Amino acid sequence: MSTLPEWPPNISQPELEYLTKLATTYALSHGLLYLPPHLPSGPPPPTQAPSSAIHAPLSIFPSPFPRELFERAQRLQSVYNVLYARIAQDAEFLDRVMGAEVGAGRVDVFTGELWKIWKNLRDDGIEQELQLGIFRSDYLLHVPDESSPMTLKQVEFNTISSSFGALSERVSALHNHLYASTGYFNSSPHLKRENFPPNRTTAGIVDGLVAAHEAYGVKDARILFVVQAGERNVFDQRWLEYELLEKHSIHIIRQTLSELSISAHLSPTRSLLISPSPQFPTNPSTTTEISTVYFRAAYTPTDFPTPQHFSTRALLERSRATKCPSIQLQLAGGKMVQMMLTKEGVLERFLTTGGETWEAGRGFTFGEVEVREVRESWVGMWGLGDSPPADSDIQSGISRAAANHANLVLKPQREGGGNNVYKSSIPPFLDKLPGREREAWIAMELIEPPAGVCGWLVRAGGGGGSGGGGVVKSDIVSELGIFGWSLFGPGRDVNKNGNERVMKTGDGGWLVRTKGRESDEGGVAVGFSVLDSVVLVD
C-alpha cells in the first residue's frame, strides 16, 4: 500500500455538529478527561481538590492505518519488550553510552546525575532485584516518494512514564460508540465494525504492575505512584489505580518526590516504607510497605529542582521494591541508546547472542526474521559527536547534520515533548551549540508521513460550543504507540524456593496521537496533539 483513502469522509455540517456533541458528551461521561489549566491566582495545585474537568483533546473520526503495518507494530513489541530488558542488564554498554564518565551523561547534567546514582549503588554492592518496564514504542507511517510502498518507522522507544494508555482505550471506545450510534452516517466503506481493532490498554498495563506486586510477595504491600505536582493528566493515571483496586484488590499511594522526601524511608532490610501523613487520611495509620514504585514523574530536569529530589530518587532506587523503571532502564530509553542500536552488530548482540550473558532472557530467542523486522522499522541516526576515522572521507556528525538539515530532526536525551530541533532551525542551533555538548545529541532522518489525510480535531474542552465551533479540520499526521511490559531480573519466585532469573512479558494495547501537519512536535500533554484511534484499511 502506498496511499491511504481520502479522509475524512464527507459529511454535512449538521452531521458534524451531531457527532461532535455525541463525542464530547461521551468523553465527559466516560472519564476521557483532563484537569483544566491552573489559574495563577488560585491555590497551588498540590492542595487544590479538583472541582471541574474538561474533555481531553480528541478526533471525531478514527484515522486510517494499514492493517498489515498495525499488526507488524504489535508483533514487534514482543521483541522490544525483551530487547530493552536485556539492555538494562548490560551495565558495561550503558556506562559507555549513557555514563557520566564517557557517555552522554558526561555532558548532559540530568542524565549524568541519574547515572551517578546508579553507579553509587553498584559501588555499594546493591543490585536491583526485579525490574519492571512499562514501554511504549511510537511509530509513523513513512512514504519517502510516490513510487515507494508505505512502511512503518519508529519515532522513539519510551521506558518511563509511558502515558495515555487508559485514555487511549477510552477514545477507542468513543469511536466505537459513534459508529454504533450513527454508523458515521454511512460516509465510508472503511468504517465498519471489523476495522475497529480491540484495545485493552488499561488491563494490559495493570497486568505488568500486578505481576511485579505479586512477585514481591508481601500481601499488604502497596504500589507507589510517583507523580508530578499539579498533574493535569491525572485521570489517565487514576484509571490504572481503579483497575488495580477493583480487579486485583491492590491499593495505591500517590506522592510527589517532594512529599516522598519527608515520608519515605528504608528498613534495615531495604524495604521501602511510607510513613503516615495527615495529608493522606486514607492511608493506613501505620507505616506502609511498598512493593512497586511506578514513576509517572522523574523523567525531566524540572522534576528535580533541588539536590534533595535526586537524593529521594536515590533512596527509592536503593530500596528492594521493584522500580518501574529502574534508573538503568530509564537510561536505556535514552536517544543515544536508540542511535547505538542502529550500528552494525549491536542489535544482533542483544537479540541473538546466547549463553549466560542473557540468562534473564532464557526462553526468549530471536533470529534473523525478528532482527530484520526491527531494523526495517528504523531510519538513519547518528551522534553529533561522531568523528570519522582518520583515513575516511565520511563527514563528522556535526557537519553531516548541517549538510542534511532539511531532512533531519535533532534530539537530546529528554522526554516529554518540545525538546527537539527541526530542519531550518538546525544550522543556527549548531552554530551556538558548544562543542562538548554535541555528544548529548543525535541526528535522526525525518519520517515522511503520507500526504492528503485530514481529520476533524477537537481541542481540550473545546467541543462544547454551539455550531461545532470547537472542531477544526486539519491536514494530519497520526503517530501509533504500542504498549508492552517486561518483568525481569534476579528476583525471588514466590512459587519456588531460592532465587532465580525471571522474565515475564505482556502486551499492553495501543495509542494514537494525531496532530496537524504544520506541527513538528507530537505531545498531547503539551498541547500539540489530540487523542485518536485507528480504522484499519487493506
Q: Which residues are catalytic?
A: 136, 156, 158, 163, 335, 411, 415-416, 513
Q: What is the DSSP letter of 466?
A: G
Binding residue per annotation — 437?
A: no
What does the block give as the cell for 183?
454508523
Judge whether 486 is annotated as a binding position: no
Residue 235 Cα distances to 42, 136, 168, angstroms: 21, 19, 12
The answer to whether the annotation marks 127 as part of a ligand binding site is: no
460 is in an annotated binding site: no
Asked if residue 150 belongs to a known ligand binding site, the reply is no
- Whether 241 has a binding-site annotation, put simply, is no
DSSP code per residue over 158-209? E-S----HHHHHHHHHHHHHHHHHHGGGG--TT-SGGGS----HHHHHHHHH
Is 67 annotated as ligand-binding? no
Q: Annotation-wise, does 412 bind a ligand?
A: yes
Residues 486/133, Cβ–Cβ less than 8 Å: yes
Question: Does residue 36 contact residue 215 with C-beta atoms inside 8 Å?
Answer: no
Do residues 58 and 476 make contact, with C-beta atoms less than 8 angstroms apart? Answer: no
Nearest alpha-carbon partner for 530 in 480, 458, 476: 458
Q: Report the relative pairing of strands 222-226 and 252-255 from DSSP bridges.
A: parallel
Q: How far is it, in rounded angstroms, from Cα 73 to Cα 499?
A: 34
**335 marked as part of a ligand binding site:** yes
Please indicate if the annotation marks 414 as binding a ligand.
yes
Is 180 labeled as ligand-binding? no
21 is in an annotated binding site: no
Has 445 been labeled as part of a binding site? yes
- Cα separation, 496 vs 147, whole angstroms: 57
**294 labeled binding residue:** no
Grid cell at residue 98: 549513557
Q: Is 156 annotated as a binding residue?
A: yes
Whether 415 has a binding-site annotation, put simply, is yes
DSSP string, 360-410: GGTT----HHHHHHHHHT---EEETT----TT--PPPHHHHHHHTGGGEEE
Burial (CB count <10 Å: 0-12, 13-18, 19+), residue 146: exposed
**What single letter denotes the amino acid at residue 491?**
G
The answer on whether 104 is annotated among ligand-binding residues is: no
CA distance 79 to 370: 7
Q: Is 447 annotated as a binding residue?
A: yes
Contact between 245 and 261 under an 8 Å Cβ cutoff? The reply is: no
Annotated ligand binding at 422? The verdict is yes
Does 503 carry a binding-site annotation?
A: no
289 is in an annotated binding site: no
CB atoms within 10 A of CB 220: 10
Give dist(CA 418, CA 415) in Å, integer: 9
Residue 209 has which C-alpha cell?
504492575
Count Cβ atoms below 10 Å from residue 320 Cβ, excluding itself: 21
317 annotated ligand-binding residue:
no
Q: What is the 3-state secondary structure (H, E, C) of 276-337?
A: CCCCCCCCCCCCEEEEEEEECCCCCHHHCCCHHHHHHHHHHHHCCCEEECCHHHHHHCCHHH
The verdict on whether residue 495 carries a ligand-binding annotation is no
Number of residues in the chain: 538
Burial environment of residue 533 by CB neighbours within 10 A (0 to 12, 13 to 18, 19 or more): buried
Residue 246, annotated as binding a ligand: no
Say whether 462 counts as a known binding-site residue: no
Residue 492 assigned as binding residue: no
Which residues are annotated binding-site positions?
A: 136, 156, 158, 160-163, 231-233, 237, 296-299, 335, 411-420, 422, 444-447, 479, 513, 515, 521, 524-525
Which residues are annotated binding-site positions for ATP?
A: 156, 335, 411-420, 422, 444-447, 479, 515, 521
Which residues are annotated binding-site positions for substrate?
A: 136, 160-163, 231-233, 237, 296-299, 513, 524-525
Which residues are annotated binding-site positions for Mg(2+)?
A: 156, 158, 415
